[in-house]
Amino acid sequence: MNDETVFILNTLFFLFSGALVMFMAAGFTLLESGMVRSKSVAVILTKNIALYAVAGVMFYLIGYHLMYRGVAAHDGLFGTFGLWRPDDAAAASGDFSAGFATTADWFFQMVFVATAASIVSGTLAERIKIWPFLLFTALLTGVLYPVTGSWVWGGGWLDALGFTDFAGSTMVHAVGGWAALSGAIVLGARRGRFDAVGKAVPIPGNSLPQVALGTFILWLGWFGFNGGSQLSLGSGADAIAVARIFANTNMAAAGGVLFVLIASQLFYKRIDLPQILNGALAGLVSITADPLTPEIGQALLIGGAGGLLMMAGVKALERLKIDDVVGAIPVHLVCGIWGTLAVPLTDSDAHFATQLLGVLAIGGFTSLCSAGIWLALKATVGIRLHWAEEDRGGDLSEIGLRAYHFDFGTG
């Protein structure tokens, strides 16, 4: 196959995979808008569309360069500062050895950073102010994510040590999860989330169909997320790999659903729908660090185990009195860690110690920086709604409208 055909196929693959990942922004939006109370829906919609826009702009302004350009020259710790610009001069003059249009790669990487930011917004819903959240998002997508990204995908120090994270269990999901966890601790729980003796009080979401649709959209988008991370469709071997990734991704999600379904019946004596939906996502996050080397049955078990760990994570957060509105920390952080550490189970080139080092280094950096930013924002502009505004709901108090108006005329 000639270089130009490979170039076209790779570019097409990046773009359509990237479009699927872009649609995950809608999935997160619905998952979150369904899980909050009806008085906080419009605010969460606002945050989600705005964060996707912010992520794109920041990754253009500084993120991409910081993650991918000149990392070696900075001891593998971070890249350079600079606006992203396409560089297709060689291809334009007929040398297609670069393998793909550079803009396609930028687009694909940009939708990944937006995913990390989406994770944060769900955890902190119903009590964080819009503008400080967007400021945090700008720093997360412009600086924090790109710095740790440079360590691995930018060819930095963790990559040199052999740390492996195929599509980002740690690089995307755990990074989002750590940022969310830091924020949840600094911000505190919603009023009424824990009672006088510290027991968790369930706060049901306003619309489970929205949550379910969001989950299905995320599941769909994950084919682009994991499949596209093969980064190439220019050979038969790539095609075999991408097919395997699709099947493993699907099966890990199915494992997450079924293990949580059975476990919730056994432990709680009833089926817990929101947890089952999160079970799908737990499976997906778990397989993301390595959707390629597992056999399909192994993918099922890795996803299923992720589902159980997610359930344990939910309990742990409740014990710790940390309020995570949508369960993003158990899904993205707990399963992001699990997926990353599970890589050596099926990939003999990966080492547990290196995987653990990567998890700790990226987790340490992201949590410390995130906590610092949250504390700085808290000390200056403030990050939390006044208690009376929170009770009233952000929709009315922050943006002055309601998300729903059900009124059936005079008929």
Footprint of its own copies on 53-112 (CB under 8 A):
53-54, 56-57, 60, 83-86, 88, 91-92, 94, 96, 100-104, 106-107, 110
Within residues 320-349, the interface with its own copies by CB under 8 A covers none
Does residue 386 touch its own copies according to CB under 8 A?
no
Burial bucket for residue 60 (CB in 10 Å: 0-12, 13-18, 19+): middle
- Least separation in angstroms between CB 91 and its own copies: 5
Site stretch for its own copies (CB under 8 A), options 193-201, 272-280, 329-337, 376-384: 272-280
Does residue 198 touch its own copies according to CB under 8 A? no
Residue 83 tokens, joined: 């606006």
Q: By C-beta, is 68 or 106 nearer to its own copies?
A: 106
Say how far apart CA 274 and CA 122 lie, in whole Å: 14
For residue 216, state whether it binds its own copies (rule: CB under 8 A).
yes
Judged by CB under 8 A, the number of residues near its own copies is 125
Per CB under 8 A, does 402 bind its own copies? yes
Q: Which stretch binds its own copies (CB under 8 A): 4-12, 147-155, 314-322, 343-351?
A: 4-12
Angle of helix 145-152 relative to helix 352-379, nearest 10 degrees? 170
Tell me which residues in 24-43 interact with its own copies (CB under 8 A): 25-26, 29-30, 33-34, 37-39, 41-42
Interface pick for its own copies out of 77, 160, 201, 273 (rule CB under 8 A): 273
**From 348, 349, 379, 411, residue interacting with its own copies (rule: CB under 8 A):** 411
Report the site for its own copies in 7-26 (rule: CB under 8 A): 7-9, 11-16, 18-20, 22-23, 25-26
C-alpha distance from residue 307 to each of 85, 317, 355 (Å): 41, 15, 21
Query: Which one among 78, 112, 163, 219 touches its own copies, defined by CB under 8 A?
Result: 219
Which residues are registered as beta bridge partners of 128? 384
Q: Name the one range near its own copies by CB under 8 A: 70-78, 150-158, 320-328, 385-393.
A: 385-393
* Pair 47, 257: CB distance under 8 Å: no
Q: Does 287 bind its own copies (CB under 8 A)?
A: no
Residue 248, CB-side half-sphere exposure with 13 Å CA sphere: 27
Token pair for residue 296?
């399909």
Regarding 166 and contact with its own copies (CB under 8 A), the answer is no
Q: Which two tokens stand for residue 134?
A: 């967007």
Distance CA 401, CA 362 (A): 40
Q: How many CB atoms lie within 10 A of CB 42?
A: 22
Q: Would you give the distance in Å from CA 351 to the centre of its chain?
A: 24
CA neighbours closer than 13 Å in the CB half-sphere of residue 130: 20
